[in-house]
Structure 1
Amino acid sequence: MPKPNPNPVTPYRDSDASKKEQVAKMFNNISGTYDFLNHFLSLGIDVIWRKMAIRELLSLKPKHILDVATGTGDFAFESIKILKPEKITGVDISEGMLAIAREKIQKRNLQDVFEVSLGDSEKLLFDDNTFDAVTVAYGVRNFENLEKGLADMLRVLKPGGKVVILEFSKPKVFPVKQAYNFYFKYVTPSIGKLFSKDASAYSYLPESVAAFPDGKQFTDLLNKIGYQNTKLRPLAFGICSIYTGTK
């Protein structure tokens, strides 16, 4: 049985609430400005990274995709455009983020293809072997129990199905590492504080990335849980990484 992280990085240091509860609260607080700040802080590059991650599934042609930590739905909408699946199911622990996703679904008239619901990545309410593919964009570092969440994603994946995880990582090359650390530690929280009503969220971001077991550590974890053919693809000198594995 996977053990919980004994010292998880959380958004609100003075809170006794669990990491899960704090993350839900944080995303509820920033849901209104999340999309704008995401694109603004990444200089729009996050859109390119999403497309690159989704193209990892092109040869599989998945009909039913589960998008974990779907947020406001951007990754799923891009998947619909590129992969044209029959169905995408999105789950997230933040009702605030899902409310925005639902508005977008209505506006784009995609109710028949994309549905979202409140859900916990560690207790996915789906049968074993349900989905052709499982995707997560910038969500796994927010899991309270990383191993448990990844194991449950494997459980609901069909045999032969594929997981694609897009997540921030830590660049190691000079001067990218230094510039990235400065931007993440000082610029991101300052801009977040300016535009968002929850400054803690944008201080939590660099802290959660710093604590995340990225690169080979993460593929080793996927292997340990039972994923096969795991691969790591660093993007932009390792600022971000795409991880893939199959069942």
Structure 2
Amino acid sequence: MLSLAIYFLCSLIAFGVYGSPPDPKNCGGFVCVLNDPPNQCGQFCLAALRPLIDHIAMQKEWNTNDAFKLNKTQVKLENIEKQQETLNNLVSQDIEARLQKMENQLQELLTKVTTAPLPLKAVVLPGFEKIGKRYFYVERTHQMNWFAAQKTCIQMGGQLAVIQDEQELEALRSRITHDTKYWLGINDLVNEGEYVSWTTGKRVPFLKWRPGEPNHARKGENCVNLFIGAMYDNGCDIRYYFICQAAEGN
């Protein structure tokens, strides 16, 4: 196609430059008689059209190069997009895995916190000692009436003792003077014959009366004391030693 176009252009140039076909008898004037028209015209056309041919070839090469570069750039962009997508997927999966791991660890921690019993550290009040399973304070110096003894125990962080059972009574007997009287936190001040804890107002869980007690021998015998391992009712205004327990709501 390109050769045909060149040939056509050459013909036009030849006619334009030289006019009508030369008369072989006329060698003068302005018309040059061609001895070898094909070769002479071809050389002339090539010389005249060389810039155009070169431009067309260069333009074609540019177009080819541009298309190649564009295609190559497109491929690179597609590769970058694929790599970016892959990286995004990997990052997303890694973040999800980390979040899931953190959530599992948090759930395990919450489960342990809510199900495991918290260790309780016993608070030992000054002057209190462990007797049996609980902590008690035995006053051996000052005697007070029942109300003053109760107030003193409260100020120390406890209350007048309420013995829980026979085992606790025996543990206390081993730590107190056998023939000394001690106030306990038991009374029937509200209802006669209904012995309750002063702190809670509830019936006490354990009573061990001396035979014949409580006898209400005189008016106002509404408070309970411990003597020789047994319990007595006595007037609340009498001054005795006393036993405190660490406050437990009994």
TM category (shorter chain) comes to under 0.3
TM-score, normalised to structure 1's length? 0.22
* Higher relative contact order (CA closer than 8 Å, sequence separation 6+): 1
- Return the index of the structure with the highest Cα Rg: 2
Q: Please give the TM-score of this superposition, normalised by the length of structure 2.
A: 0.21
